[in-house]
Every structure is written in structure tokens, then in C-alpha cells.
Structure 1
Amino acid sequence: MKREQIQYLLQQHLDGTITESESALLADALLEQEGTEALELALQEMAMGSEKDPSYKKEHWEDMISGILSTSASTKKRLLPIRFLQFAAAAMVLGIIATGLYFWNRTGEKSTVDTYAKNDVAPGGNKAVLILGDGSRVALDSSGNQVLRQGTIAIHQQGGQLQYDQQGTETSVSYNTLSTPRGGQFQIILPDGTKVWLNAASSLRYPTAFTGGERKVEITGEAYFEVVKNAAMPFRVKISKEATVEVLGTHFNINAYADEAAVRTTLLEGKIKVMDVVLNPGEQAQITTGIQINRHVDTSAVMAWRYGLFNFEGQNLKEVMRQLSRWYDIEVIYEGTVPDIVFGGKMLRNINLSQLLKVLEDAEVHFTLEEGRKLIISNQ
């Protein structure tokens, strides 16, 4: 498990908001990661970020970790093979609400890993396309390490991140677009230092330098922003013809996928304005034909993707499958009536599709994974 994922779950534990399934996931991670650089860095960053909170002090870490391990059901299985632990933890994380059925393939035989592993799909990763002002396209992935130049602008790529560096006075500003495919994600640091994380099947259009009285960008899909404060130059995000998010300096998430029922803007820190409605931290604006405000949103569920997790909490089968289709770049086909199933919990996004389908067997859905990245779901 990555440092950010450990840090996210540790924070949930310290805040007292961690769920039973998340506790199991954290305990299993600590069994493998305790004493490693990933865990140590996560704890150090948390300590530096909250020096006044005694919960973060190093002398409390050992007791905290021991407490997590001792209270988790996963520790009772410590002597079992790691393979079993991984599947047991994943099954707990899903917390699937469904009974009475079983997975069957299209010929009526019980499904096993072997029946769909041959058509397995790897999880998504860091990949994107950068479209420059002259229309040229640059493919980006985790292995990239390069510097691109546009006038006085230097664009540094290191792995899954782009960073813009203005090295002189820019006389002409052009627009770039960073676009992630299905199965891709990427991070960018804009010319003003604002950080943006793009989820799969998303795009961000932005100027190579911010000039004038505002900083304006446009997105499709889903993105998380950490905006640098500049009261003299407000930051604005255009998410549709009708809707723009206005910011001075804050952390927020926008989900604007075309196949979702609403555009959702969730505020984590600071203040933003959405269609003349001001949001406070922990609130979410939902835009359909009008705007509705959710005053008590679960921000940890909204931010799950940013920390390498799927969020299935309270979602029906189609909502879950939309997440999977974007991340694994698969086509989901429904035959007959869509099963009425509600899911819960979170799950890591860094596993192959076959592993996830194996865990999902307890969800009791009829499915077939075919060639061409097609997942067919039926009610018979």
C-alpha cells in the first residue's frame, strides 16, 4: 500500500471516523508495512502537519499501531497465508449487502477465477496526453522524465506529474490541455503553484501563464484542486456552460462526468462559490437542472479515488460499474433487468480486475468477462 493510502487510513483512525472495513484494511497494511519507509514517511508527514496534536507524536505511534492491530479481526489471521489475508481483507472492505444468489457464467456453470482470468484487465495507472498550444500531442506515463518548452515556459515531467515553470516574461499566453484516458490518472502543478489531480477519463484546459485579473481553467470528468491563495487574482473553474466554481484559495473536488446524474462540487477546506451559492467545508453542491446543497457530505468517500481507493458506500450496481469501467477501461453491458444490489465500503484500486471480480463473487451477480474488455452482466 502506498504512503498516501496509509496516511489517509491513519487519519481516519485518529479522527474516529474509520469504519470497521477500513480498520481491517489498515491493519493488514500495517502487518506488511510496519517499520518500512512508506509507513514512517506517512507518520512523519502527519506529525509535521499537526504539531499541536499529541496523537501524532512519535512516542504514541507504537501504542496507536498496536491498538489498531489488536482490535482488528485481521490480526486473528496473522498466521494464515498472505494470499488468504488479502482476499479476506478485501471481502471485509466491500461489505456487500446481498444474499441468496451466486455468480454464474453464461452457460450456467459456477464462475471461478480461471473462467475470467484469461481475459484479465490490469488496473489503471499514471498516463495522460498533453495537448500543446500548437495542437501537438505528447504521450505521458509513469516512466517519463523530460522537459518540454513553450516560449519562456518550461514543462517538467517526472513520472506521473507535470510542473510548469515560467523562466521569463511571457508575451503570448497559449492554452494547454491535459487529458487522461479511461484507465489513467495524472497530477499537474499549474504556473501559479496550484496542484490538480485528474481522475480517469478527465481533462483540464489551462493557460501556460496566468495574467490579468483572474485564473481560469476548465475541466471535464473529475479533478481535485489545492489552489494557491491570491486574493487579487481569483481562481475559477468552468465545469459547464452554466456553472463555474469561484475560489480564493482552498481544497475541493469536482465530479463532472457526463454519465453521472449530477455535477458534484465538494469543499474540503476554505470557501468556494458555486452558481452564487457559497459552500463551507464539508458541504457539496449538486447541479442538475438547478442546484442543491448537501450540508453533511462524507468527504472521505468523495476523496477515496485520490488516495487510491474505490468508494462503493451506498452505491447501486450501475454506480459501482461506472467506477470500474473508467478505471479498468472496460465496457459494461447489461442484459435484462439490472440486479437491485447496494454496496458498501472501500477497496484498493491497484488490483487486477480478476481479483476484484473474485472478491465480488459474494455480491451474487451473473456476469461474464469476455475478450475485448467486455463485462456482461445479466439477471439469469
Structure 2
Amino acid sequence: MINKPELEILLQKYINNSINHDEYQLLLTYFSDPDQSTLLDSLIMQQLDNEKFSHPEEIEALVLRVDEKIKARIPSPVAKLSLLKRFYPYVAAAAVLICCFSAYFYFGNKQSVNPTEIAFYDVAAGGNKATLRLSAGQEIILDEKQSQLCSKEEGLTYENGESVFQTGSEVQFYTLETPRKGQYQAVLPDGSRVWLNAESSIHFPSQFTGDSRTVRIEGEVYFEVARDKHKKFIVELSNGNRIEVLGTHFNVNAYENSMATKTSLLEGSVKFLNNKNKSVILKPGEQAIQPINAAVITIKKADVMAVVSWKDNKFNFEGMPFPEIMSQLERWYDIQVVYASAIPRLEFYGELNRSNSLQYIMKAFADSGVKMELKGRILLVH
């Protein structure tokens, strides 16, 4: 077992960007071990404190810069396990502390600030970004000027016919995944169409064999399933839930950190089955809600067009709890939301275009009485 001094050295090497491949793997192992949580927490805070940052964006910029450099020189299976998720809570906490200190310094000393000295931060909206992972482990970064991947008998192409990957006679398995700030569309081998929201994925074969068409998803995906009365279309979720259809239009929201899985039906009929062997049949305009670690499935009427507004490049926050709204912004703008005080309990109406920058969205919330500040990629909600 590694001791505390050795772990301190590894963390310092990570921050200094001098860590090697084996050391990085060892550090990842300890970051994923819940038994080491307390020790790691104290060491991270100690390291960040030693750096004497004066702005929260400096902390995040350093972590992002080092992490990207490390991932560029370490093989993808290892590099995929970024340390950013572990550092983000401390970046967020530091943002709050620095903002509070800055406010005290300004109001306590009654000093004015020249507006030209204040940097204007903004974050551009997301767009068409996705990665295609193949059975053999290769990764293909998809063209951001394209918006749709098409699965055909001869292989994968973009919508304009440009080849992405040529397949042989054997069945291949693909995983299409979008990062934060990403979205993409795909046409599956049976002609079904799917839309992937930010931080989502779909796993599917190059051809559907047998008596069913099975895909596996994470995140949020909208489906327009091609009708085939001889082959059910099955959507498997990472939590063991699944959805069965023949031909229909529906949306699945199953993010890993969400409190519930939500399946919303626009057209046709779907059967939702949870991992407790309970099932329900949905009618158009209904939504099935499956809370985490609960056996009961709730069905309610829903504004399904508002639910799927994201695929038409719109935000529709009507009736949505504020934390869920912030989760959408986190994924689409690749930011971290921090609450400086109590979570606002307001209702919002209307739509906003997802192509707007974050500052535009912040202005819309300010007009509704919610003050926000953008510090680098930290969004501070007052």
C-alpha cells in the first residue's frame, strides 16, 4: 500500500505535469477507492492551498491543462479515467471561498474597481460533437460540421454519404457517445433514427440479427423507431431497466446522476420494465418515472413536446425543478454549478435557444430574479 508521503508526491507530480504513465495509473486507482476518500480529500485541499490561487478559474485552468496534457500521452483506456471529477468539488468550493473573500475585500475596504480591469467571461453553446468507438477499441472523432451518422450494410457514413468506417461481413458493435457540450444524430441499421443529447451514448450492432433489435443507452436519447412487427425494438439502460417497442417515438432520460429514469411517449406504445420485474404500458402524452432504488413506477401526463425540445435546439424549463435546470446547463455548456446560498424555488416558463451563449442564458435568469456569476467555468448561483 502506498503511504501518505508517497501519495503527496504523486499529487504534486500530477499538478506539475511531471507524472509518468505508471504513477498516473496508481493515482487513478487511489482516486477510485472509497476507503481512501478522507486522506485524498485532505491532500487535494492541501495541494490547492499551497498553490495560492487568487481566482477560481486559475484552479480549473490548471487542472484542465494538466489533465489534457497527460491524456494526450497516455493510452486512451487509461486516459479516459480523468481526475477532473475528483478535483471539481474543490474547484467549486474554492470558487465560493474566493468570491466571498473578494466581496469582503471590496465592500470592507470601500474600494472601487475599474470596469476595464474585470475580465468578461462567457461560454459558447454546445454543438455537434461525438466519438465513435469500435469493437476493436479504435476511436473515431466525428466531424463537427456533420450532424448525423448513418449505419448501412457497407459500413458507416455521414448523411452526405462520406465514409466513416467500412465493415466486413461480420457483425460489428459500435458505441456512439457525446461529451459535455455535444449532441449528435444517428440512423441505425433498421432505419430507426436517434438523437443523442449531451453526455450520452448508444451501443448498437452493424446489423440486427435474431428476433429483436437491442440497443443500450446512457444519458438522454430520443428515438423514432422504424416499425417491424416481427422484431421488437429493445432499449436497455445501465440500471437494469428496459423499454420494449415495435415502432414509436419516445424519449429516455437516464443520466447516471439523476434521481429517476424518465420515459416519455410521443407516438405509438411502449412497455417500460424496471429491474424489479415491474412493468407499465405507456400511451402518447404519458411519462413513466422510475426513481432510483424504488420498485414503483409512476405514470403521469406530461408536456412531451417540452420534454423533447432539446432535440430541436431549445431549452424548455417549464415546471422543472431548479437543480434539473442547472444540470442541463452543466452538460450543455460544460460548467460546474455552485450554490452560494439556498437553491432558488422559482418556476420558469417559455423557451430559450440552446445556441445562445451562457451569458445570454444568465441574463434570462437574472430577469426572473436569479442572480448568477460566471467565474471561469464555475457558475455561482446566488
Structure-1-length-normalised TM-score: 0.64
Q: How many Å separate the matches in 2 of 1:149 and 1:281?
A: 28
Q: Give 1:173 deviation, angstroms.
A: 1.4
Paired residues of 1:313 and 1:344 also in contact (CA < 8 A): yes
Q: How many Å separate the matches in 1 of 2:355 and 2:148?
A: 26
Q: Deviations along 1:325-376, whole A, 9 cap, x unmatched?
A: 11111111123322332222221111111112122222333432112x1111
Counterpart AA for 2:362: L
The residue aligned with 2:217 is 219
Q: How many Å separate the matches in 2 of 1:304 and 1:147?
A: 21
Q: Deviations along 1:116-145, whole A, 9 cap, x unmatched?
A: 872211001111000011111111133259
Q: Give 1:164 deviation, angstroms.
A: 9.4
Identity %: 40
Say whether 1:303 aligns with 2:308: yes
2:342 to 327, 337, 348: 337
The residue aligned with 2:287 is 284
Paired residues of 1:214 and 1:236 also in contact (CA < 8 A): yes
Q: How many Å separate the matches in 1 of 2:179 and 2:259?
A: 21
Unpaired runs of 5+ in structure 1?
A: 1-103
1:237-248 matches, cutoff 5 A:
237-248=235-246
Change (3 A) 1:191 1:242: same
The residue aligned with 1:182 is 180
Paired residues of 1:165 and 1:191 also in contact (CA < 8 A): no
Q: Deviations along 1:80-112, whole A, 9 cap, x unmatched?
A: xxxxxxxxxxxxxxxxxxxxxxxx996389xxx
The residue aligned with 2:259 is 261
Helix, strand or coil at the partner of 1:141: coil
Say whether 1:156 aligns with 2:157: yes
Say whether 1:232 aligns with 2:236: no
Higher Cα radius of gyration: 2
Paired residues of 2:151 and 2:188 also in contact (CA < 8 A): no
The residue aligned with 2:44 is none
1:132 to 131, 134, 140: 134
Paired residues of 1:180 and 1:199 also in contact (CA < 8 A): yes
Q: How many Å separate the matches in 1 of 2:316 and 2:203?
A: 27
- Runs (4+) off by over 6 Å: 113-117, 145-150, 161-167
Q: How many Å separate the matches in 2 of 1:369 and 1:231?
A: 51
Structure-2-length-normalised TM-score: 0.63
Unpaired runs of 5+ in structure 2?
A: 1-98, 108-114, 274-278
Q: How many Å separate the matches in 2 of 1:115 and 1:227?
A: 54
1:358 to 352, 355, 363: 363
Q: How many Å separate the matches in 2 of 1:210 and 1:121?
A: 41
Q: Which has the higher contact order (CA 8 A, sep 6+)?
A: 1
The residue aligned with 1:142 is 144
Q: Deviations along 1:172-208, whole A, 9 cap, x unmatched?
A: 2121100001111000001111100000110000111
